């Protein structure tokens, strides 16, 4: 079994170093990061992915 640790993409609050925000959408950079992760890992056989 392989385990991959993945941090969530960027959002405006963590870019400003504001933490403990319950829910916030990804900003443009975070969306780019998520798409980049997907593209780089699309050939992996992943049955579960959970992020912080």
For residue 37, which of 14, 15, 9 has the smallest C-alpha distance? 9
Report whether pLDDT(44) > 80: yes
* Domain range for 37: 12-41
In a domain, 20, yes or no: yes
d(CA 41, CA 2): 13
Tell whether the model's pLDDT for residue 3 goes beyond 80: no
Task: Please check whether residue 48 lies inside any domain of the structure.
Answer: no
Residues 6+ apart with CB under 8 A from 45: none
Residue 49 in any domain: the answer is no
pLDDT in tens, 20-40: 888 889 999 999 999 998 898
Whether the CB-CB separation of 26 and 13 falls below 8 Å is answered with no
Domain annotation covers residue 3:
no
Structural domain contains residue 26: yes
Residue 5 within any structural domain of the chain: no
The pTM score is 0.73
CA 34 to chain centroid? 5
Q: Is residue 1 part of a domain?
A: no
Q: Tokens 């975070």 appear where?
A: 30
For the chain, how many structural domains are there in total?
1
């Amino acid at each position: 079994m392989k385990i991959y640790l993945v941090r969530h993409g960027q959002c405006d609050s963590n870019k400003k170093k504001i933490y403990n925000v319950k829910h916030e959408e990804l900003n443009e950079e975070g969306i780019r990061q998520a798409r980049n992760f997907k593209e780089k890992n699309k050939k992996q056989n992943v049955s579960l992915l959970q992020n912080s």
